[in-house]
């Protein structure tokens, strides 16, 4: 009987009255049949479980969230064929639109002119790169040498495939060319931005090296390929049903937007464990919101929890991609700050979004929703996991660089000639 009759009854029995009569039925069944469970009783038990699941749909409080999930499911168009869960040996096309979007202002302007490049060159502490005859050149000083090394890892790999080109690259955390202050687009490459900037996004150095140095990661967060291995191993070690039904966050106070989360955790530690750690700018407990800095927790250890929070820091935070690979539900707060792969990951489909200044009450409510709708949020977590695993592979980073530099170079309105102030890498 199982599937179709359960389906039929669950479709018919959808009112509170009907649900309660089923409950009575089940009670009778289990009373009269304590020792030997007949298949009829098992069916009824299953039905009761099913109805118990359905009852939550009757809680009007969760309806808007459930609607948001089903709308996201209906609206979702796979960027990689019928199933995003299938990894391809080739690189993904899922991030291609971002290249189009970032380069669109330059296309509209008729291409990238020498004047635009001059404006880019005037950006404070910018790094100039050239590729000439499949060799890579760079201005002597890079503001953050390890970040440059992290970027050059990908560029050097691609040299045989790239045309002669040149570009100005920003290694700071924040973007450089505001659409409000600069009316003409300026071609500066940055790892993260909001829609208020002209900057062209590139894959951050930290995919290879040069990420923030912590006690637990003394050489700096990097090697995404290794994290893919270790985090998926941890995800296997902590499958959904074994994870703690609690929110979790560890990180420094790079943005005060994180305060509500930390304050809620102090008030209700049973539902949420969120604490501030030290970073290099830490001077006193004021920088950890009046508490002693918490011990750092590895990203792998995050996988023990069901609900993982992501916030922007100075710009986008590197942790976003890691959190998905735990197989946990990602709660992403604020949608302004982007990295190149963010637009392909969809709210309510791959993660649950929260508004930028989510209050303690909003966070408490979404955690309650997650706990009471375990099956629905588990599905979101699975989709997020599959998407990052299959569309943010190491090869996808390399491919993004390749496509970006080819498309960008096609827009240059002049022939690139060797700049002898640069040195070969
Ligand atoms: N991080 C970590 N464990 C900690 C604290 C931080 O793994 O206990 C990681 C975090 O996931 C992020 C990076 O270190 O990728 C920097 O975190 P922080 O909160 O200091 O700055 P953010 O870049 O998020 O603004």
**Structure confidence by residue, pLDDT tens digits, 303-319:** 999 999 999 999 999 99
pTM for the full predicted model: 0.87
> In this structure, are 180 and 245 located in the same domain?
no
Please give the tally of structural domains in the chain. Answer: 3
Q: Is 319 in the pocket of ligand 1 (CB under 6 A)?
A: yes
Q: Is 297 in the pocket of ligand 1 (CB under 6 A)?
A: yes
> In this structure, are 166 and 195 located in the same domain?
yes
pLDDT in tens, 347-371: 999 999 999 999 999 999 999 999 9
Question: What is the C-alpha R_g of the chain?
Answer: 25
Q: Is the pLDDT of residue 15 over 70?
A: no
- Per-residue pLDDT, averaged over 317-346, amounts to 98
> In this structure, are 118 and 185 located in the same domain?
yes
Domain CATH for 377: 3.40.50.2000
> In this structure, are 38 and 6 located in the same domain?
yes
Catalytic site residue from 43, 173, 287, 335: 173
> In this structure, are 273 and 183 located in the same domain?
no
Which candidate, 217, 251, 257, places its Cα nearest to that of 337? 257
> In this structure, are 413 and 376 located in the same domain?
no
> In this structure, are 282 and 382 located in the same domain?
yes
Calculate what percentage of the chain has a pLDDT beyond 70. Answer: 84
Q: Is the pLDDT of residue 27 over 50?
A: no
Which candidate, 300, 138, 128, 333, places its Cα nearest to that of 221? 300
Does a structural domain hold residue 66? no
**Strand pairing report for 135-138 and 127-132:** antiparallel
252: CA distance to ligand 1 center in Å? 7
Can you tell me which residue has the tokens 């089940």?
Answer: 26
Is 173 annotated in the active site? yes
Does a structural domain hold residue 70? no
Does a structural domain hold residue 74? no
Q: Is 45 exposed, middle or buried (0-12, 13-18, 19+ CB in 10 A)?
A: middle
Q: Is 310 exposed, middle or buried (0-12, 13-18, 19+ CB in 10 A)?
A: buried
> In this structure, are 365 and 405 located in the same domain?
no
207: CA distance to ligand 1 center in Å? 15
> In this structure, are 317 and 297 located in the same domain?
yes
Flag the least confident range among 49-63, 121-135, 237-251, 399-413: 49-63
Does a structural domain hold residue 69? no
Q: How confident is the model at residue 86 (pLDDT cuts 50, 70, 90)?
A: low
Does a structural domain hold residue 240? yes
> In this structure, are 108 and 157 located in the same domain?
yes
20: CA distance to ligand 1 center in Å? 48
> In this structure, are 328 and 200 located in the same domain?
no
Choose which residue among 227, 231, 251 to substitute to test ligand 1 binding: the one with the highest number of ligand atoms within 8 A of its C-beta.
251
28 lies in which domain range? Answer: 2-58
């Amino acid at each position: 009987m199982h599937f179709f009759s359960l389906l039929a009854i669950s479709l018919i029995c959808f009112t509170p009255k009907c649900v309660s009569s089923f409950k009575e039925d089940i009670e009778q069944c289990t009373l009269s049949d304590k020792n030997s469970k007949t298949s009829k009783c098992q069916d009824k038990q299953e039905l009761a479980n099913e109805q118990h699941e359905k009852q939550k749909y009757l809680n009007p409080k969760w309806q808007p969230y459930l609607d948001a999930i089903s709308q996201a499911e209906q609206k979702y168009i796979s960027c990689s064929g019928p199933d995003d869960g299938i990894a391809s040996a080739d690189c993904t096309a899922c991030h291609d639109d971002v290249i189009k979007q970032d380069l669109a202002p330059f296309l509209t302007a008729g291409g990238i002119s020498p004047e635009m490049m001059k404006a880019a060159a005037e950006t404070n502490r910018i790094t100039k790169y050239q590729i000439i005859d499949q060799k890579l050149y760079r201005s002597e000083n890079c503001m953050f040498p390890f970040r440059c090394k992290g970027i050059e890892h990908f560029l050097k790999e691609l040299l045989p495939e790239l045309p002669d080109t040149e570009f100005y690259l920003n290694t700071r955390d924040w973007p450089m060319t505001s659409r409000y202050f600069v009316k003409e687009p300026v071609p500066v490459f940055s790892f993260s931005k909001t829609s208020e900037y002209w900057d062209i996004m590139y894959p951050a150095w930290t995919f290879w090296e040069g990420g923030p140095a912590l006690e637990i990661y003394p050489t700096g967060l990097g090697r995404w390929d290794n994290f893919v291995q270790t985090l998926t191993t941890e995800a296997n070690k902590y499958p959904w049903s074994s994870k703690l039904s609690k929110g979790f966050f560890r990180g420094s106070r790079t943005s005060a937007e994180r305060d509500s989360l930390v304050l809620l955790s102090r008030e209700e530690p049973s539902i949420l464990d969120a604490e501030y750690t030290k970073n290099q700018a830490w001077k006193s407990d004021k920088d950890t919101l009046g508490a002693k800095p918490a011990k750092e927790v590895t990203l792998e250890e995050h996988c023990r929890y069901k609900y993982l929070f992501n916030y922007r820091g100075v710009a986008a935070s590197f942790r976003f991609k890691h959190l998905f690979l735990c197989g946990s539900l990602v709660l992403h707060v604020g949608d302004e700050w982007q990295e190149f792969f963010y637009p392909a990951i969809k709210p309510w489909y791959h993660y649950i979004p929260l508004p930028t200044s989510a209050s303690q009450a909003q966070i408490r409510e979404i955690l309650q929703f997650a706990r009471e709708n375990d099956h629905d949020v588990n599905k979101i977590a699975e989709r997020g996991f599959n998407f990052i695993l299959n569309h943010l592979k190491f090869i996808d980073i390399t491919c993004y660089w390749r496509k970006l530099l080819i498309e960008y170079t096609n827009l240059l309105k002049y022939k690139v000639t060797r700049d002898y102030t640069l040195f070969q890498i």
